[in-house]
Structure 1
Amino acid sequence: MVLVVVGPGVVKTVELSIAFLAPTIYTKATRSFQSIRMPPSMNHDLFVVLALLLTAVVLFIRNKPRMDVVALVMMTALPLTGVIGVQDALAGFADPNIVLIAALFVIGDSLVRTGVAQRLGDWLAAHAGASETRLIPPLMIVVAVIGSIMSSTAVVALFVPVVLRIAQRSGISVRRLMMPLSVAALISGMMTLVATAPNLIVNSELVRRGYEGFQFFSFAPFGIPILACAVGYMLLARRWLSPTMPAAVGASAMRPRLSQWIEEYGLAEREHRLRVADGSPLVGKTLEELDLRSSAGANIIALERNGRFSRRVMQPVATTELRAGDVLFLDLFTSLVDIEEVRRRFDLERLPMSGSYFLDRSQELGMIEVMIPAASKLVGQSVVSARFRSEFDLTAIGLRRGGVPRAGSIRNETLEVGDTLLLIGPWRAIRRLGSHWNTLIALSMPADLDDVVPAPARAPHALAVLGLVVVLMVSGVVPNVIAALIGCLLLGLLRCIDTDAAYRSIHWQTLVLIVGMMPFAVALQKTGGIDIAATALIDTLGTVGIHAMLAGLFALTAVLGLFISNTATAVLMAPVALAVAEELGSSPYPFAMIVALAASAAFMTPVSSPVNTLVVGPGNYTFWDFMRVGVPFAVVAMAVSVVLVPWVLPP
């Protein structure tokens, strides 16, 4: 048994291997802790605080109740001990960093809702091919870059389906890709000040003690080399992960995809894109006036029109008036219709086709299979007279009767009970079909629906706002929290995210966990626990050298992170690191930085971080998989950090 510092002045007895320390250091550490004398007036209060902290850690390990509930319990209990007051216990709610973290959740979610991150994933899928060697480096770099400006957990949740799609298309084992994904997401926390909550917590502790905080890119000189090492390491370590595919990759694998329906209903040759020329007779006419279904045998599925800042896909209605420059998405009822004749007749410019029935527009247009129930008012009507567009904002493009898709035109088919229809239209209209259960019964929602983002046309706006926020943070023109709030307001103004979605995007459990653990730092400061912990570390490693001291802090933080969240670890370890720096008369920055980096080095077990937990199922990983891949790289990350930190930030 050895006494190990686990928080801001907290001393906890835990069993852990100290094989990395020489026997003489171990003996010295034991004697140092035994020689510590706490002030008599502090003994009782300190032991009470330590007992509460030990209880919190045990509950964190058991994960019962939830960590945020445990934090609330501790925040309530500490004032009852008399060690701190109610104001100290609740001070975290007024901390600007808490508001900053909440604002960053909103900004990150806007990147998801506008499809920015997904488009990067699709770019990877299109350019990587079937080579693991070509795929892993750009995958890790993209994930790390995105994670540097949004929650790493959100990045992994976003990229899991992307990686699954890449694996399915390329034939690469998903087990070889999910681990690099989680490692890169964790390293993203080492890139910028706002990349992860532990960075902001450590920075807040610096400011609280009267020091100037870190800059936005202060972490990059360490994160970039560690990411480079991680890329090379994973190209080797992936061979330790057997390529066995999991039995299933999720519920979406059981659902049909749009490409499957396009093939089953024979839609591939029916799509056409035509641009309305300036002199076209269609200009200024409404769809009701034109009636292209009867006059040309063509059905306008959708139209694309220039908006204020970008082009947008619209669902046409009878009163929609066509303009020059509109792009019409046409479906021909029958192969007998001559598209060239239609083009010449209406002075339309033919545009390139994808050959996959508008599959390249799947962010705006979706499909759904529905069945006609016995009580439906549509029974006995033809497809045209049913007026699907007017009633449901959808267009019928396929009919299946008796399990067999009907070939040729379906416009005059009389609908019967049990018929299955394939409808196309905006995803928002597809989602609304549930309210028409007595007319149509939804049979199958395609797996592609999971990939749809709510506001794809707003991606340029989200990127512009993100760029502005980063510039404001880097320049220091306004405080970081004000820069983030400005970004949130602009994102709402530009409709990249709405108010309800913004509130849903905030991970309240994380905020409550941080606020609830902050009082421990104050309590341990008042009871002398932080001074005791700092003295013990200095007596143990102080004579060995600065590199040994930093290595000890890194190892201690990383080991503690095996049992509790990296957020709680940072709350507890940041005051200890700064107290050590003050005792040594050194600059606080290398000690604060080493704790922040170690808090993100949660590579070693599947429960070290939610990032790891998210990839366990899709990657079909075991505890041993994380140990044999994560432990060696944690040592690599520690070595790189211990070498670079005192060089970039002299003690």
Structure 2
Amino acid sequence: MFTVPLALHAHYVFVVIALAALLMASNRVRYDMIAISVVLALMLGDILSVSEAMAGFGNPVVVLIAALLVVGEMLDRTGVARFVGDWIGRHSRSSANKLLLMLMLASALLSAVMSSTAVVAIFIPIVLRIAKQTGHSASQLLLPMSYAALVSGMLTLIATPPNLVVSEALNTAGYAPLRFFTFTAPGLIVLAGLIGYMLLWGRHWLPDNRVAAERSPQRSIQALWHEYQVDHQLTYLRISETSPLQGKTIGQSGLYNRYGIRILDLSQQTRGWRKLKAGVSPDIVLHSGDILHVAMHPEDSDRVEQTLGLAPFHPSQMETQYRSWEFGAVSVLIHPDSKLIGKSVRDARFRDHYDLDVYGVRRKREPLADYQNTPLQASDSLLVTGTWTKIARLKQQKHDFVLLETPSEADDIVPAYKRMPVALVIIALLVLSSVFNWMPLIAAVMLAVIAGVVTRCLSAADAYRAIHWQSLVLLAGMLPLAEALQQTGGTDMIVGSLISLAADASPHTLLVMLFFITALLTNILSNTASAVLMAPIAISIADQLSVSPYPMAMTVIFAASAAFLTPVASPIITLIVEPGKYRFIDFIKLGLPMLGWVFVCCYYLVPWFFPW
């Protein structure tokens, strides 16, 4: 291991920071590899001990982000993200500007009353869902959303840790601490400027990082249905109060044997709730008001309605959505070694053995007319329908079947949608805990993760898969830089040299200097670290000038939330690097005008709202 002379330690750290920034800007090296290189450089240069250099990997912020990503996955798997995304998509489908506006407002307002990092982690799956539905690139939505969450730090006292740091510094110096809405008014002006900037100019500079070579779009179940020339149509029927089917089981009803009607699934009223039953069995008792999802010949609709008292029914969008998450179809090939070869679908008792229905067979790309009774051959393809769970089991029968095609609906399955109310309760408790400070945020989030796994909103394996390890390694590897600058005196060198340039300057000049020093440290280290370093200095400067400390304190707060320029300045930004596939230059290009706007607001508004 080489040893850097003690007098050059600070300069060595500056070189490490500069090289890391250049590598990030080049976009030729993965960010997580750069972060690991930074850890090695600090360790091998004898700047930090091994435990200090590796401390970032055990930092509570890293653990917090990992847990929040799991919470976001819980919202995705239970359908909460889907419904929020659908709602925003429906109300902004006609306008890209309206979509950006709704996302930024929702992100900023939520972040004002709870952890901004938590809001961004929760919104990532929602934004990815919206991008998929609307055809927008996720990279054109994630950055404005995260910038809005950053600006929320200028709205309320609890929005971001630096605000609490500055308030405590004022209290320690003998001044009144900040109140919840002390700086909300100027913060709203900054937020309005961000939204206007993004809608008018910024959105044109947002990168489009969609993968160019996307696979060909999957076909829908309806397209497969048409390809196999199925002579049945899918429809919904409601059992009327006069229907002779009331009180009979599905087996006794004769719907299939007499009328050729196959029940795919049904929903029944149970204790005031309509419960969907996918994968029906013959012993289910039918009642008036039951909704049957069936496959039947179109010409039989009038006869069925008159004879059996089954009236057409039009389900709500939500009911249709639930069914698509339960019921599906796939196309499979008969394996050359399959035990079904030589047997017909009827002889093989396919439904009895697999609890799935076959609605068509193709041989040499041509549909078979009497597919139920024709002996199967190797490479015949079958259109199989049923619950997604049973279809997944069929895929495991690799000696009998080969998966040929999965429809597009399979990508939209929400596997734990029945646990959505539980997930909403968990999130509500997490938000309340954050707002009222019932416990440390990291404890609340980890309890939410445990609750999500215990209540089966997601499995432990799902939780581990949800973690973006690249983002965590990036953050953990860059965190020790703050400690290195402090230990080597690098921070004091930056602050001292710049402050000395304005020794006899006016308060406004010192405000400008204070803003850019804090913003520089924020984008190199972190917003919390810069607030810890600069809050006492700001108050000390005000005391030396015999002016109110609040304009200086507000300057630190605003500059600490202006972490727009680098992907490592704040966890809020780090989280979106991987899903948005952003480059270093994207943050510089989009962030510089925002930094300028925050400075203008700080220079003119802070002294007006908080007089000297």
TM (norm. structure 1) is 0.72
Q: 1:73 aligns with which of 16, 28, 40?
A: 40
Letter in 1 for 2:76: V
Does the alignment pair 1:373 with 2:335? yes
1:35 corresponding residue in structure 2: none
Question: How far off is 1:369 after superposition?
Answer: 1.7
Letter in 1 for 2:449: C
Distance in 1 separating the partners of 2:511 and 2:106: 30
Does the alignment pair 1:580 with 2:548? no
1:273 corresponding residue in structure 2: 236
Letter in 2 for 1:166: T
**Preserved contact between residue 362 and residue 452 of structure 1 (Cα < 8 Å):** yes
1:31 corresponding residue in structure 2: none
Output one character per residue of 1:93-116: Cα deviation in whole Å (capped at 9) or x when no partner.
675544433332222221122222
Question: How far off is 1:337 after superposition?
Answer: 3.0
Distance in 2 separating the partners of 1:262 and 1:205: 64
Show the 5 A alignment for 1:146-185: 148=116, 150=118, 152=120, 155-156=123-124, 158-160=126-128, 162-167=130-135, 174=136, 179-185=140-146
Q: 1:421 aligns with which of 374, 377, 382?
A: 382
Distance in 2 separating the partners of 1:425 and 1:144: 43
Which fold has the larger relative contact order, with Cα–Cα distance below 8 Å and residues 6 or more apart in sequence? Answer: 1
Question: How far off is 1:442 after superposition?
Answer: 0.9
1:9 corresponding residue in structure 2: none
2:498 corresponding residue in structure 1: 537
Q: 2:214 aligns with which of 251, 255, 274?
A: 251
SS in 1 for 2:461: helix
**Preserved contact between residue 76 and residue 126 of structure 2 (Cα < 8 Å):** yes
Given the superposition, is the C-alpha separation of residues 308 and 107 from structure 1 closer, same or farther in structure 2, using an over 3 Å criterion? farther
2:8 corresponding residue in structure 1: 47
SS in 2 for 1:425: strand
SS in 2 for 1:304: strand
Distance in 2 separating the partners of 1:103 and 1:309: 36
Q: 2:76 aligns with which of 112, 122, 130?
A: 112
**Preserved contact between residue 518 and residue 556 of structure 2 (Cα < 8 Å):** no
Output one character per residue of 1:261-318: Cα deviation in whole Å (capped at 9) or x when no partner.
3554567982222345789766676555556422331112123356799755443254
SS in 1 for 2:337: coil
Does the alignment pair 1:397 with 2:397? no
Question: How far off is 1:413 after superposition?
Answer: 5.2
Q: 2:404 aligns with which of 420, 443, 446?
A: 443
Q: 1:461 aligns with which of 419, 422, 430?
A: 422
SS in 2 for 1:418: coil
Distance in 1 separating the partners of 2:520 and 2:435: 33
Output one character per residue of 1:120-143: Cα deviation in whole Å (capped at 9) or x when no partner.
222333343444454443354456
Question: How far off is 1:435 after superposition?
Answer: 1.8
Show the 5 A alignment for 1:280-359: 287-288=250-251, 290=253, 292-305=255-268, 313-318=276-281, 321-322=284-285, 324=287, 327-338=290-301, 341=304, 345=308, 350-352=312-314
Distance in 2 separating the partners of 1:274 and 1:68: 60
Distance in 1 separating the partners of 2:404 and 2:229: 19
Distance in 2 separating the partners of 1:638 and 1:268: 68
Distance in 2 separating the partners of 1:286 and 1:53: 78
Letter in 1 for 2:68: L
1:590 corresponding residue in structure 2: 554
2:445 corresponding residue in structure 1: 484
Distance in 2 separating the partners of 1:370 and 1:144: 48
Question: How far off is 1:469 after superposition?
Answer: 1.4
Q: How many residues are matched?
A: 584
**Preserved contact between residue 334 and residue 381 of structure 2 (Cα < 8 Å):** yes
SS in 1 for 2:400: coil
Given the superposition, is the C-alpha separation of residues 525 and 384 from structure 1 closer, same or farther in structure 2, using an over 3 Å criterion? same
Distance in 1 separating the partners of 2:178 and 2:231: 56
Distance in 1 separating the partners of 2:412 and 2:178: 37
Given the superposition, is the C-alpha separation of residues 497 and 373 from structure 1 closer, same or farther in structure 2, using an over 3 Å criterion? closer
Given the superposition, is the C-alpha separation of residues 387 and 348 from structure 1 closer, same or farther in structure 2, using an over 3 Å criterion? same
**Preserved contact between residue 557 and residue 599 of structure 1 (Cα < 8 Å):** no
Does the alignment pair 1:475 with 2:436? yes
2:26 corresponding residue in structure 1: none
Letter in 2 for 1:73: L
Letter in 2 for 1:478: M
2:92 corresponding residue in structure 1: 128
1:228 corresponding residue in structure 2: 192
Given the superposition, is the C-alpha separation of residues 164 and 96 from structure 1 closer, same or farther in structure 2, using an over 3 Å criterion? closer
SS in 2 for 1:484: helix
Question: Which consecutive residues of structure 1, in runs of 5 or more, have no partner in the other structure?
Answer: 1-42, 168-173
Given the superposition, is the C-alpha separation of residues 272 and 77 from structure 1 closer, same or farther in structure 2, using an over 3 Å criterion? same
Question: How far off is 1:406 after superposition?
Answer: 5.9
Distance in 2 separating the partners of 1:109 and 1:234: 28
**Preserved contact between residue 161 and residue 528 of structure 2 (Cα < 8 Å):** no
TM (norm. structure 2) is 0.75
Question: How far off is 1:384 after superposition?
Answer: 4.0
Question: How far off is 1:543 after superposition?
Answer: 5.4
Q: 2:102 aligns with which of 120, 138, 153?
A: 138
Output one character per residue of 1:495-539: Cα deviation in whole Å (capped at 9) or x when no partner.
222222223333455445555544444454444433333222322
**Preserved contact between residue 539 and residue 553 of structure 2 (Cα < 8 Å):** no
SS in 1 for 2:561: helix
**Preserved contact between residue 284 and residue 322 of structure 1 (Cα < 8 Å):** yes
1:39 corresponding residue in structure 2: none
Given the superposition, is the C-alpha separation of residues 338 and 259 from structure 1 closer, same or farther in structure 2, using an over 3 Å criterion? closer
Question: How far off is 1:614 after superposition?
Answer: 4.6
SS in 2 for 1:491: helix
Given the superposition, is the C-alpha separation of residues 609 and 519 from structure 1 closer, same or farther in structure 2, using an over 3 Å criterion? closer
Given the superposition, is the C-alpha separation of residues 295 and 77 from structure 1 closer, same or farther in structure 2, using an over 3 Å criterion? farther
SS in 2 for 1:337: helix
Letter in 1 for 2:330: I
SS in 2 for 1:599: coil
1:4 corresponding residue in structure 2: none
**Preserved contact between residue 56 and residue 74 of structure 1 (Cα < 8 Å):** no
Output one character per residue of 1:189-213: Cα deviation in whole Å (capped at 9) or x when no partner.
3336999xx9458868988999799
Does the alignment pair 1:632 with 2:593? yes
SS in 1 for 2:300: coil
**Preserved contact between residue 191 and residue 220 of structure 1 (Cα < 8 Å):** no
Distance in 2 separating the partners of 1:103 and 1:194: 25
SS in 2 for 1:590: helix
Distance in 1 separating the partners of 2:62 and 2:182: 20
Percent identity over the alignment?
Answer: 27
Question: How far off is 1:424 after superposition?
Answer: 2.6
Letter in 2 for 1:374: P
**Preserved contact between residue 89 and residue 519 of structure 1 (Cα < 8 Å):** yes
Larger deviation, residues 306-315 vs 100-109? 306-315
Letter in 1 for 2:324: S
Given the superposition, is the C-alpha separation of residues 489 and 97 from structure 1 closer, same or farther in structure 2, using an over 3 Å criterion? same
SS in 2 for 1:233: helix
SS in 1 for 2:449: helix
Question: How far off is 1:472 after superposition?
Answer: 1.7
SS in 2 for 1:497: coil
Given the superposition, is the C-alpha separation of residues 527 and 52 from structure 1 closer, same or farther in structure 2, using an over 3 Å criterion? closer
Question: How far off is 1:462 after superposition?
Answer: 1.7
Question: How far off is 1:473 after superposition?
Answer: 1.5
Pairwise CA RMSD of aligned residues? 5.0
Question: How far off is 1:352 after superposition?
Answer: 0.9
Question: How far off is 1:180 after superposition?
Answer: 4.8
